[in-house]
């Protein structure tokens, strides 16, 4: 999946972009999602009027204020048959919540070209009726929108691996291209480590204690191993993976005895994913240093 975001500052942009996004010839077997727009099936004029009205609430008005954002999510051609409207709606809703949960929003899919499925999402330049700008930095867009959006797709729709987000600044280098895990993802497969991470996340959300966490994993036919002191340390597949190196520290697992809410667990999982991402980047950095030293 490739994500592009473009901002528009012209006064007449609402009509032009709404008409383009909802152009019938581009929207074969499509759908329409809206946020903060009244009516189950609002007309183009009603949508345009809502975008315009919301702009009148802007707190700090300047000539170069961004009136509208258009974000486009493009998917790999080999995933076209997998991209049902229901899946795309879920992806669109998740993306909007990450990008700007309080914006007036319009989302639809274009399928004119059978192997080129892409979502169009229009977002107001300010929050709904508050007048606050929804502008975010490039770094926040990458870290708080693109990367979490990628994780959402990978977790909920594993068959869409070929549509993994392409980050311009982190395109695969020569070293990364040779990486076995990357090559597997390109073929639409998951590595042992990625499959293991999926099992760990599911077990963490279900478990009511550290011991129960291990039991759930064993019921999935995963081979747990212990260290010299007999304490369970991790899981053995084609290699050994320690729980702590995957972000599941002793402290986090012991907290399962507390009656953690679903929200608390999801927040903890998000921190674990960030830790895993950081570890992966460090590993790649060490590999590049090793290659240069040869």
Looking at the chain, how many residues does it have? 294
Please report where in the chains the tokens 């480590």 appear, as a residue.
Answer: 193
pLDDT tens, N- to C-terminus, the chain (294 residues): 889 999 999 988 999 999 999 987 667 778 999 999 988 889 999 999 999 999 999 999 998 999 999 999 998 888 888 899 999 999 999 999 999 989 999 999 998 666 688 999 999 999 999 999 999 998 899 889 998 998 898 889 888 866 665 444 333 333 333 355 555 554 455 678 888 888 999 999 999 999 999 999 999 899 999 988 889 999 998 889 999 999 999 999 998 988 778 778 888 888 898 888 888 777 777 777 776 666
What is the predicted pLDDT for the residue at 98?
94
Tokens of 272: 């674990």
Residue 169: the pLDDT is 39
Rounded to whole angstroms, how far apart are CA atoms 249 and 138? 32
| Domains of the chain, CATH where assigned | 2-161 (3.30.930.30), 173-292 (no CATH)
Asked whether the beta carbons of 31 and 89 are under 8 A apart, the reply is yes
Strand-strand pairing, 103-110 and 32-35: antiparallel
Q: What is the pLDDT of residue 191?
A: 74
DSSP states along the chain: -EEEEEEE--TTHHHHHHHHHT-GGG-TT--EEEES--SSS--HHHHHHHHHHHHTT-SS--TT---EEEEEEE--GGGGGG--HHHHHHHHHHHHHHHHTTEEEEEEEE-SSTT--EEEEEEEEEETTT--B----HHHIIIIIIHHHHHHHHHH-GGGGGG----GGG---HHHHT-HHHHHHHTT---HHHHHHHHHHHHHHH-SSHHHHHHHHHHTT-EEEE-TTS-EEEEESSSEEETGGGT--HHHHHGGGS---HHHHHHHHHHHHHHHHHHHHHHHHHHHHHHHT-
Q: How far is CA 277 from CA 155, 235, 283, 291, in A?
A: 15, 20, 10, 21
What are the C-alpha distances in Å from 143 to residues 61, 136, 261?
Answer: 28, 11, 25
């Amino acid at each position: 999946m490739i994500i592009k975001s473009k901002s528009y500052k012209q006064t007449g942009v609402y009509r032009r972009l709404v008409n383009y996004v909802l152009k019938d010839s581009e929207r074969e077997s499509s759908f329409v999602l809206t946020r903060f727009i009244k009516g189950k099936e609002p007309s183009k004029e009603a949508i345009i009027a809502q975008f315009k009205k919301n702009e009148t609430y802007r707190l700090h008005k300047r000539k170069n204020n961004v009136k509208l954002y258009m974000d486009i999510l493009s998917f790999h051609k080999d995933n076209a048959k997998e991209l049902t409207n229901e899946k795309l709606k879920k992806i669109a809703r998740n993306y909007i919540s990450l990008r700007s949960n309080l914006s007036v929003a319009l989302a639809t899919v274009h399928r004119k070209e059978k192997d080129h499925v892409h979502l169009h999402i229009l977002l107001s330049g300010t929050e709904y009726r508050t007048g606050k700008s929804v502008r975010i930095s490039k770094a926040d867009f990458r870290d708080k929108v693109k990367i979490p959006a990628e994780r959402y797709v990978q977790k909920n729709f594993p068959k869409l691996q070929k549509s993994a987000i392409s980050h311009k600044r982190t395109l695969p280098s020569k070293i990364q291209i040779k990486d076995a895990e990357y090559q597997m993802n390109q073929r639409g497969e998951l590595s042992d480590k990625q499959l293991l991470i999926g099992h760990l996340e599911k077990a963490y959300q279900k478990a009511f204690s550290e011991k129960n966490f291990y039991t759930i994993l064993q019921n999935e036919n995963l081979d747990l191993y212990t260290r010299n002191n007999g304490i369970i340390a991790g899981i053995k597949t084609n290699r050994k993976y320690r729980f702590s190196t995957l972000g599941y520290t002793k402290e986090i697992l012991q907290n399962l005895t507390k009656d953690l809410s679903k929200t608390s667990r999801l927040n903890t999982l998000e921190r674990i994913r960030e830790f895993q991402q950081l570890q992966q980047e460090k590993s790649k950095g060490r590999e590049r240093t090793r290659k240069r030293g040869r």
